Amino acid sequence: MAKSAAIFLDRDGTLVEDVGFIRNPSQVMFFPYTIEALKMLQPHFRLFIVTNQSGIAKGNVTVDEVERVNAFIEEHLRNQGVTIEQTYYCPHNTEDGCSCKKPSPYFINKAASLFDIDLSQSFMVGDHPSDVEFGRNAGIKSIYLLSGHGQKHREELKGDETVLGNILDASHFILSTVKNEKHE
């Protein structure tokens, strides 16, 4: 059986508004284009969410609150016809030196192993420089978004990243890349 391509998505600032530490599903505000963007990608890619949730380590949010918010996001997307294969989150601070906090490729490698993902055909999409490094460290293509905190951190980018406005722009770009590769 052929391996699957995947899209690894940051959560806050990419799929939903970044309003700080989200403790309750009622605080989740999807960008108006999130569902459309993910529906475009889903026929071609398996979808994963990978999010740093340092608020757990800082005491701003609990594991239970993060898991309830993640479950709400997955359920809302599923009700709209979008399947998230898995949501991964790191509960640590940078100072903890864990192996799972982005930009460590831990969760991409874990998903690749568990879900038989072809990393050479996969993408990371997020609004923080650590998201771009996360993808780069796993050997996948990364797209940096100007939504969320993207505009604020743009000058921190270190390379020739693809920079786009939001997840819908990224979906169009990814699909044009896939179509171009099939025609070559």
C-alpha Rg value of the chain to the nearest Å: 15
**How is residue 124 annotated by DSSP?**
E
The domains of the chain, with CATH numbers, are 6-183 (3.40.50.1000)
Helix (H, G, I), strand (E, B) or coil at 4: strand
Segment 99-135, tens digit of pLDDT: 999 999 999 999 999 999 999 999 999 999 999 999 9
The Cα 64–Cα 100 span in angstroms is: 19
Give bridge partners of residue 105 from the DSSP assignment. Answer: none
Where would I find the beta strands (DSSP E) of 23-65?
46-52
pLDDT of the residue at 181:
63
Catalytically active residues, by annotation: 10, 12
**How is residue 128 annotated by DSSP?**
S
Considering the entire predicted model, what is its pTM? 0.95
Q: Across all residues in the chain, what is the average pLDDT?
A: 94
The Cα 135–Cα 104 span in angstroms is: 9
Average pLDDT estimate for 170-177: 96
Average pLDDT estimate for 68-94: 97
**How is residue 29 annotated by DSSP?**
-
